[in-house]
Structure 1
Amino acid sequence: MDTMTLWHLTGWEFAALAFAALLVGFSKTAVSGANTVSLAIFAAVLPARASTGILLPVLIAGDVLAVLTYRRHAHWPTLWRLFPAVGVGVAVGTLFLVWADDAVVRTSIGVILLLMAGVTVWRRRQAEAADASRASDSSEASDSSEASDGDGTSSRSGRVKARSYGVLGGFTTMVANAGGPVMSMYLLSAGFRKLGFLGTSAFFFLIVNVSKVPFSAGLGLIDGRSLLLDAVLVVFVVPGAFLGRWAVKRINQRLFERLVIAATVVGGLQLLLT
């Protein structure tokens, strides 16, 4: 596998990757799903297949920082419901990467980014409608509560929804490290508030991303040269995580999501048209 190394990059390319790594840290502790912009940057600067392997350790570093920040707010029953289906999705995604060449992966990442942008728009509108409904309910949950699945954890529809989102999330995270918007939509539809959302997603992606390492290494997407580049880029994840932790209670969520969606669409179109 022809992975990229630190020495292959121009100054502008390295600056773009460093910014993408900082955004990973920010998204993990503030706005989950914002790292789709990082995905687009990595895939634009690096070969598409190689970019997924190089980005993975950077994401894991962000996951570790998110877990350290929000570890008390995870909702484990939700995680255990998702993991079996996610495993199926990761396996399907691995088989896809065995078959697909760089051009197919690049196109797939572009399509996934555009799909996730549409999903994010739909999810935000659903969340706004849910917030309006909860505003009229005097028993509205606190910001740190971890809500259960709105369909009922024991209902058939709830199980079907968890399996569907789990398989799609596992596939998109294996093929393009783009499972964030899928899981964001699931957690919001299950009624999670901000801290419960961040804590549950932090543990989810740490466990899933670590489990993907053997698959990525077996496909040749991670090797000693790529890890050297990762070691440099991880330095930029840390300030991004601290910035996210500072901003999570201050950020204008609606404006930021609009910027993320716009950047994601531009990145997806760039990958499809290049």
Structure 2
Amino acid sequence: MAGAEAVFFVFAVPAVVFAGVSKGGFGSGAAFASASILALVTEPGTALALMLPLLMLIDLAALKAYWGRWNLRASLLLIAGGLPGVALGAWLFSAVDADAMRVLIGAVSVGFVLWQLRGRLGLQAVAGTPLSSGAGGLAGLAVGFTSFVSHAGGPPAAVYLLSLKLRKTEYQASTVLIFWVINLAKAVPYAGLGLFTRETLMLDLLLAPFALLGAWLGVRLHHSIPERWFFALTYVLLTVTGSKLIWDGLA
């Protein structure tokens, strides 16, 4: 048993630190991968239940660092779409084809990056028109739904927010506010579905310091990396996470 616990923490500690760095500094697009890593050493449902309180702790730690620096209109639009998405995810949790949703969101994420790179590749000038409010509402719905079923709400949020060409910290602060609200909303139906157990909550207590460490590192890295490199890294993370979603869905 001790050996199994050691293997669990070998995977869990870096996964949780990674989630903290991603959410604390780089828009949370890749944070969902932490649940995927945990799913290698525990049941998928247990991995989701383990990660949610830790994600909420990271949100709270990052909120102070970015307080009031978000784009409130864009954040509220994604939250307004996200809350019904959470309810939809809770309603369809047992029946939803999560793999099909992973492929769809992954394709949108990768396609968006390619679209943004058209000008740099010399194919066509990148359009400067932000996505519409209607598209933002649909993105919010996808944020809430995919966040509920797999903690993978980061890519659809990034697609909308990046289209607005926000400044680096405005973009980051917006993601922190959005997922703080969305993750709080997810906690009640997660509890109602019986996903939280005494064991998962005890493990969360042990992993909490690593979540806070990751959030602190993420905030530090956010402020030390130039804006150009920040968005380059954000596009890389969006491509990687989108590709991972497609791979998971097809596999």
Q: TM-score, normalised by structure 2?
A: 0.81
What residue number does 2:133 align with? Answer: 159
Q: Does the Cα contact within 8 Å between 2:48 and 2:151 map onto a contact in 1?
A: yes
Q: How many residues align?
A: 240
Alpha-carbon offset, residue 125 of structure 1: 3.6
Match of 1:30 in 2: 25
Unaligned runs of 5+ in 1: 1-5, 137-148, 152-157
Question: Which residue matches 2:108?
Answer: 119
Q: Distance in 2 between matches of 1:96 and 1:179?
A: 16
The residue number in structure 1 matching 2:16 is 21
Structure 2, unpaired ranges of 5+: none
Which residue, out of 62, 67, 74, partners 1:66?
62
Distance 1:170 1:241 in 2: 22
Partner Cα separation in structure 2 for residue 119 and residue 267 of structure 1:
11
Residues 103 and 249 of structure 2 are in contact (CA less than 8 Å); yes or no, is this contact kept in structure 1? no
* Contact kept in structure 2, 1:127 and 1:188, CA below 8 Å: no
Deviation at 1:64, TM superposition (A): 1.0
User: Structure 1's 270 and 86: CA in aligned 2 closer, same or farther, altered over 3 A?
Assistant: closer
Matches within 5 A, 1:1-274: 9-32=4-27, 33-99=29-95, 108=98, 112-128=101-117, 150-151=130-131, 158-248=132-222, 249-250=224-225, 252-253=229-230, 254=232, 258=236, 261-262=239-240, 265=243, 269=247, 273=251
> How high is the sequence identity, in percent, across the aligned residues?
25
Spell out, residue by residue over 1:204-262, the C-alpha distance to the aligned partner (whole angstroms, 9 max, x if none): 10011011111000001113221111111121112212222222233755467547744
1:89–1:170 Cα contact (<8 Å) kept: yes
Separation in 2 of the partners of 1:193 and 1:256?
13
Shift of 1:164: 0.8
Letter matched to residue 187 of structure 1? L
CA RMSD in angstroms, aligned pairs only: 3.1
Contact 1:22/1:236, CA 8 A, preserved across alignment: yes
CA contact (8 A) 1:40 1:264 kept: no
- In structure 2, relative to structure 1, the CA distance for the partners of 1:30 and 1:123 (3 Å cut) is farther
The whole-number CA distance in structure 2 between the counterparts of 1:215 and 1:173 is 13
| In structure 2, distance between residues paired with 1:12 and 1:76 | 42
* Aligned counterparts of 2:86 and 2:241: Cα–Cα separation in 1: 26
Matches of 1:225 and 1:192 in 2, distance apart? 41
